[in-house]
Structure 1
């Protein structure tokens, strides 16, 4: 048996959302979540399909990769395949050779589970660890109450409030109403929610999107933002608590978020909302 690489196409996306959910575990490695694919879906279903690579052996799906950018591949593994030598060597070779249609030439990045064998292969080949990211997880057992904001679930008629908040929270954001509707039409969004928080004057000051991976699986916050004119008032903590509560209501076992370790403010906000830091994770990159 040999490992094959393919791009699944639009019709193949829905089964991959399910598989990514099945691979999530509170005891397993931090890795690509169905919500990551769901958030990418805002660019349209065709672009989402074109960004996916899957590795299989004899019809068995072993790894799923998503090109967040042409130079950044994020990979999830089947729990039994983290140390599979044939898979890891094939994935390593595919990432090294631009002719194989995974990563481009020059400086490129790969995000893979820290305990996957491919990490060792990249290191031996001279790849370098990038700056650390801080995963955090909430147990969803307590500490979900908040009183600073009035929380609303966004639907098609109110999408503009969510997209406007995103643009007011992140410099350079390109999140538009059209992209919200593209995201909401995706398979992953069937188990997701967009929330906004209003202050006492009724102004939308914070927002978040939460993604379920299925009953009893860890859910994801991606993304969370506070309007740049309303920071420093506890709204980030409040919307994060609301997000965790929404994931609990969706049946999640825990709530998970990932942010650059250098973003000290974000890390502090998540911890204030009851999230506990896990071991840091790092991409590896090949210098240009």
Structure 2
């Protein structure tokens, strides 16, 4: 039976999240994680459902994609389907044809695991290699060092407000609010997640992160991590990243992953200072028209 494209709707989101959980394993290439859907859930369940695409064959989900912004599809497949030719050709056809409702006309990017056959097909179709991203990973089979600052898990409304304020001050153009945090916290991926705040000696929230577990024995994800612009260069990025790794270890994750543009050398250095190690750079595929 041929592979078919679906927009799963709200009722199908849990199946997509569960598939992503099952596909995470140590040693796998950087790929779409259930935490990526969890972070998108800040826009609400309906918006998240509208942004998700699944590809099924014989009732089994073989690929999950997230339309993570205009013209960007973040995509992964079941590990045993990376080199499935029929699936790869269906994916390539769906992302190339705007009428399929996956990507619009004009500039578009596709993120996929480096070992996916889809890369070869997109290259043959004229898609180019975009700017590099650097994945980083830390082994959580050993204890993580103490972050050295006060860390709190966000559970109360006042903490959600503080988390949102730090996020807005960490990322230019951010419109994140405590309402969006509460929306994110209603999503099924947040069952295995924690939002953390780091405080300075005066009790001011200075850094924030959300960590996403895919379940015990699987890699977890940091998404996002940010330091308040008024409190940078004081080691708070290292502290909150260390706390994030410790939280994922408590959730049973075997490794913690994060990915940042290679050009963001400050972020790469921050993660390395927290004990993360660089993995080989990865690239999106893009077309200009």
Q: Which residue of 2 aligns with 1:35?
A: 35
Q: How does 1:25-174 map to 2 (within 5 A)?
A: 25-142=25-142, 144-157=144-157, 158-174=159-175
CA RMSD in angstroms, aligned pairs only: 0.9
Alignment of 1:193-232 (within 5 A): 193-232=194-233
Partners of 2:38 and 2:152 lie apart in 1 by 20
Matched residue, 2:240: 239
Distance 2:156 2:4 in 1: 40
> How far, CA to CA, are the matches of 1:6 and 1:156 in structure 2?
37
Structure 1: runs of 5 or more not aligned: none
- 1:186 maps to which residue? 187
Q: d(CA) in 2 for partners of 1:242 and 1:177?
A: 22
Does structure 2 retain, via aligned residues, the 8 Å contact 1:143–1:274? no
Superposed, 1:276-287 pairs within 5 Å as 276-287=277-288
Structure 1 residue 142: deviation in Å? 4.1
C-alpha spacing 1:200/1:160, structure 2 compared with 1 (3 Å): same
CA distance in 2: counterparts of 1:153 and 1:160, whole angstroms:
13
| TM-score normalized by the length of structure 1 | 0.98
C-alpha distance in structure 1 between counterparts of 2:245 and 2:76, whole Å: 23
Q: Is the 8 A contact 1:5 1:55 kept in 2?
A: yes
Aligned counterparts of 2:141 and 2:89: Cα–Cα separation in 1:
41
CA distance in 2, matches of 1:147, 1:60: 42
1:97 and 1:226 mapped to 2: Cα distance? 40
Match of 1:261 in 2: 262
1-structure distance, mates of 2:115, 2:95: 18
Secondary structure of 1:18's match?
A: helix
Determine if contact 1:35/1:222 at 8 Å carries over to the other structure.
yes
How far apart are 1:143 and its partner, in Å?
6.3
Contact in 1 for aligned 2:62/2:81 (Cα 8 Å): yes
Would you say the 8 A contact 2:143–2:246 is kept in 1?
no
Q: Deviation digits for residues 187-213 of structure 1, max 9, x if unmatched? A: 000110000001111111111000000
Per the alignment, in what secondary structure is the counterpart of residue 68 of structure 2? strand
Give structure 2 stretches of 5+ with no counterpart: none
CA deviations over 1:187-241 (Å, ceiling 9, x no partner): 0001100000011111111110000001100000000011101111111001100
Give the Cα separation in 1 of the matches to 2:46 and 2:52: 10
Inter-CA distance 170–219: structure 2 relative to 1 (3 Å threshold): same
Cα pair 2:141 2:254 within 8 Å, conserved: no
